[in-house]
Amino acid sequence: MLKIYGKMKTTISLIKADIGSIGGHVKVHEKIMDMAREKLRKEHGKLLIDSYVTRCGDDLELLMTHTKGVNSEKIHKLAWDVFEEGAKIAKELGLYGAGQDLLSDAFSGNVRGMGPGIAEMEIEERPAEVVIAFMGDKTEASAFNLPLFEIFANPFNTAGLILDPKLHDGFKFEVHDVKGSRKIIFDTPEETYDLLSLIGLTDIYAIKRVYKKSGEIAAVASTEKVNLIAGRYVGKDDPCMLIRAQSGYPATGEVVEPFSKPFLIAGWMRGSHRGPLMPVSEKDANPTRFDGPPRIIGLSFSLKKGKLTGPVDLFSDVSFDEARRKANELAYYMRRHGPFQPHLLPPGEMEYTTLPQILKKLEDRFEKL
């Protein structure tokens, strides 16, 4: 038999959905997680090489490694089946929001546009590959714009951009206009100001991928907007992303550094408020205060021929205690504003609003100034 010797490529697929949770939009049930683990484990050595199942708040997260490439129908179908079965369990237990992110009754070859969030990359593994998975709850896809910029383009965050010859050339950013369905690629540091003029507008632009100048993938984020997909509010587009770290990429410590200084993002209660993104360990991803504050977990894996070792639960480190304290302080400060901006999002960004009905009711009472 003819054997083709080439470098094996590994695909890492992180696919997530909110298919129901305990006691409100808070926590995925262990029974659902066990079912997901079991269903994916059965595919090890067949469709998958390896897998890891976790959750961030009410979002079930499936991390899978395989050789099928990105957008594989078989892999997406497997994830869809897990979500459907999870939704069934959620319904049986009377969990809240059962099946909320499954916008279609039938799988049509790809989960893109059907509700789940997806971050996938196909890589040629380095001898000691490091991949970090980030998962957020009660926030939106473009919440990763600021940290991705800092990780890959800000030398005040990433010392390697200055100190490591392998990073010194900079990176390429693929930015999606999520409302206009178009994309554009920027080179940094050359086009840093053009890039920043777009990605600061987080309601319109989301960083989808980051590449090395030589073309290898460095990061990928989910940019699905569930509320836009359905044309009406049906659930949050809580994001996930994958980032490669070390030797030619930012170090693990440079990748987590932006989350040590909490910043404000859109999401939180009813997807209609601005609040701080709080980095927490896997076990602490249970957003309850005003359904928040928004959470992020970060898990770092080593990868060899698709086999996952780990993870290290990055934000369980005590060095993030201060970030959590600051995020809590910011949460109190923002909550002080109640239904006022800037805590409340502007009308176009709110995922729940009664404004059209109220304006209609008051229409006759408005007088010309």
Contact residues: ligand F6R, CB under 6 A: 24-25, 97, 138, 236, 269-271, 291
Q: Which is nearer to Mg ion, 47 or 206 (CB)?
A: 206
User: C-beta of 260: minimal distance to ligand F6R in Å?
Assistant: 24
Select from 18, 237, 257, 282 the one that contacts Mg ion (CB under 5 A). 18
Build a one-symbol-per-residue string for 105-144: x at contacts with Mg ion by CB under 5 A, - elsewhere.
--------------------------------x-------
Give catalytic status of residue 352 as yes or no: no
Could you say whether residue 208 binds Mg ion (CB under 5 A)? no
Number of other CB atoms surrounding residue 6 within 10 Å: 7
- The item of Mg ion, ligand F6R, none sharing an interface with residue 59, based on CB under 5 to 8 Å by kind, is Mg ion
- The item of Mg ion, ligand F6R, none sharing an interface with residue 271, based on CB under 5 to 8 Å by kind, is ligand F6R
Q: Which is nearer to ligand F6R, 239 or 250 (CB)?
A: 239
Query: Which is the catalytic residue, given 16, 18, 52, 137?
Result: 18
User: C-beta of 223: minimal distance to ligand F6R in Å?
Assistant: 17
- Strand segments, DSSP code E, in the chain are 9-17, 50-56, 59-66, 117-124, 129-137, 171-177, 182-187, 205-212, 217-221, 240-245, 264-267, 273-276, 278-279, 295-304, 307-313
Contacts of 185 (CB under 8 A, 6+ apart): 172, 173, 174, 175
Token digits of residue 245: 């770290």
- The item of Mg ion, ligand F6R, none sharing an interface with residue 270, based on CB under 5 to 8 Å by kind, is ligand F6R
Q: Which is nearer to Mg ion, 97 or 115 (CB)?
A: 97
Long-range contacts, stretch 310-314, CB < 8 angstroms, 24+ apart: 311/52, 311/133, 313/281, 313/282, 314/132, 314/252, 314/256
User: C-beta of 7: minimal distance to Mg ion in Å?
Assistant: 37
Build a one-symbol-per-residue string for 24-53: x at contacts with Mg ion by CB under 5 A, - elsewhere.
-x----------------------------
Q: Which is nearer to Mg ion, 138 or 172 (CB)?
A: 138
Q: Distance between alpha carbon 173 and the CA centroid of its chain, in Å? A: 17
Contact yes or no for 277/139 (Cβ under 8 A): yes
Render the burial of 241-279: b for 16+ CB within 10 Å, e for the rest. bbbbbbebbbbbebbbbbbbebebbbbbbbbbbbbbbbb
When computed from its CA atoms, the radius of gyration of the chain, rounded to whole angstroms, is 21
Q: Which residue is nearest to Mg ion (CB)?
A: 25
Select from 27, 48, 59, 237 the one that contacts Mg ion (CB under 5 A). 59
Query: Which is the catalytic residue, given 236, 237, 249, 291?
Result: 236
Using DSSP bridges, classify how beta strands 295-304 and 278-279 pair: parallel, antiparallel or unpaired: parallel
- The item of Mg ion, ligand F6R, none sharing an interface with residue 269, based on CB under 5 to 8 Å by kind, is ligand F6R
Give catalytic status of residue 233 as yes or no: yes
Q: Which is nearer to ligand F6R, 243 or 278 (CB)?
A: 278
Token digits of residue 93: 């237990």
Of the CA atoms within 13 Å of residue 13, those in its CB half-sphere come to 32
- The item of ligand F6R, Mg ion, none sharing an interface with residue 27, based on CB under 5 to 8 Å by kind, is none
User: C-beta of 116: minimal distance to Mg ion in Å?
Assistant: 12
Query: Which is the catalytic residue, given 31, 233, 261, 313?
Result: 233
Q: Which residue is nearest to ligand F6R (CB)?
A: 291
Select from 97, 115, 275, 293 the one that contacts Mg ion (CB under 5 A). 97
Give catalytic status of residue 304 as yes or no: no
Q: How far is CA 133 from CA 39, 54, 299, in A?
A: 21, 11, 5
Q: Which is nearer to Mg ion, 48 or 299 (CB)?
A: 299
Contact yes or no for 9/67 (Cβ under 8 A): yes
Walk across the sheet containing 59-66 and list its strands. 50-56, 59-66, 9-17, 117-124
User: C-beta of 363: minimal distance to ligand F6R in Å?
Assistant: 27
Contact yes or no for 151/170 (Cβ under 8 A): no
Q: How far is CA 362 from CA 247, 344, 357, in A?
A: 61, 21, 9
Number of other CB atoms surrounding residue 156 within 10 Å: 9
Q: Which residues are catalytic?
A: 18, 233, 236
Which residues are near Mg ion by CB under 5 A? 18, 25, 58-59, 97, 137, 236, 238
